[in-house]
Structure 1
Amino acid sequence: MFLRTRQDGSLMEVLSLPKLFDPFATQLPGRLHAGEELQEPELFHKSDLVFASGESLPRCWVDPHYGAR
């Protein structure tokens, strides 16, 4: 799965879907897709990521209190 960074719109390949879907995880491993060489994995803050369309990540992926009453 690919997401975009809010900062400059770079494409980032998500390397751990469970971390992406886990609302308690604030960071996830990913790899930027820039240039021709494969980039080293790094950690990205979920708050700095959006879908390729520019849409924000679903609240249930980023808010551990979502749905709590």
Structure 2
Amino acid sequence: MFLQLKDTQDLVKILDIQELIDPNNDIVHAQDQEGQEEQEPDAFKKENLIFPSGEKLPRCWLDANFRQG
């Protein structure tokens, strides 16, 4: 799955979907898709990621207490 960084519009390839959808994780490990060579995995804050369409990530992926508020 590919997501986009809010500030640079760079695409990143998510390495573990479970890590992405777990609201208890603030970060997700992904590979930046910059350049022609495969990049090393890096940690990205989920709050800085959006879908390539420009949509925000679902709140249930970001907030473990989303049903309480």
Common fold by TM > 0.5 = yes
Amino acid at match of 1:44: F
Which 5+ residue runs of structure 2 have no aligned equivalent? none
Q: How far apart are the structure 2 equivalents of 1:63 and 1:19?
A: 13
- SS of 2:68's equivalent? coil
* Structure-2 separation of matches of 1:64 and 1:4: 22
| TM-score normalised to structure 2 length | 0.96
Identity of aligned residues (%): 38
For 1:9, the equivalent position in structure 2 comes to: 9
Structure 1 gaps of 5+ residues are none
User: Following superposition, which runs of at least 4 residues in structure 1 exceed 4 angstroms of deviation?
Assistant: none
The normalised TM-score by structure 1 is 0.96
Matches of 2:21 and 2:35 in 1, distance apart? Answer: 28
Alignment of 1:53-64 (within 5 A): 53-64=53-64
CA RMSD of aligned residues (A): 1.0
Q: Which is richer in helix? A: 2
Deviations 1:27-52 (A, max 9, x none): 01000001101000000000000000
